[in-house]
Amino acid sequence: MTAHVSKDPLHGVTLEMQVNALVARYGWSELSKLININCFKNDPSVKSSLKFLRRTPWARAEVEALYLDSLDRDSLDRDSLDDAVPVKQDEPAFNPWANSRLNKS
């Protein structure tokens, strides 16, 4: 049997995981500016936010959208870093024997 593989990026990601990730990335202050919700502004906590988000579909949709956007930005940031740093695989960074060949002639 083959295992079912979901194409949904939120598959297996709980609302609590999303809130914790957003708080870690932006902090409560910035998060309250990005999503205008009182539970992010006044005495914020993960517990109170989860209670509100589970009862309010539009707010939960906002959090999920910001979470997905932050995932997209992370992947774009990693891709741009890979392109920005050229890596030469053929040449070592330092060759201690390079000067000894020049001195023998």
Model confidence pLDDT, tens digit, residues 20-29 = 999 999 999 9
- 6 or 71, higher pLDDT: 71
Please report the pLDDT score of residue 73 as a whole number: 84
Whole-model pTM? 0.68
The CA R_g of the chain, rounded to the nearest whole Å, is 24
Please report the pLDDT score of residue 34 as a whole number: 96
What is the Cα–Cα distance from 38 to 43, expressed in whole angstroms? 9
Q: Are residues 19 and 49 in contact, defined by beta-carbon separation less than 8 angstroms? A: yes
Provide the residue count of the chain. 105
Please report the pLDDT score of residue 81 as a whole number: 61
Q: Are residues 15 and 54 in contact, defined by beta-carbon separation less than 8 angstroms? A: yes
User: pLDDT averaged over the chain?
Assistant: 82
Domains annotated on the chain, with CATH:
15-81 (1.10.720.30)
State the amino acid at position 79 in one-letter form. Answer: D
State the amino acid at position 36 in one-letter form. Answer: N
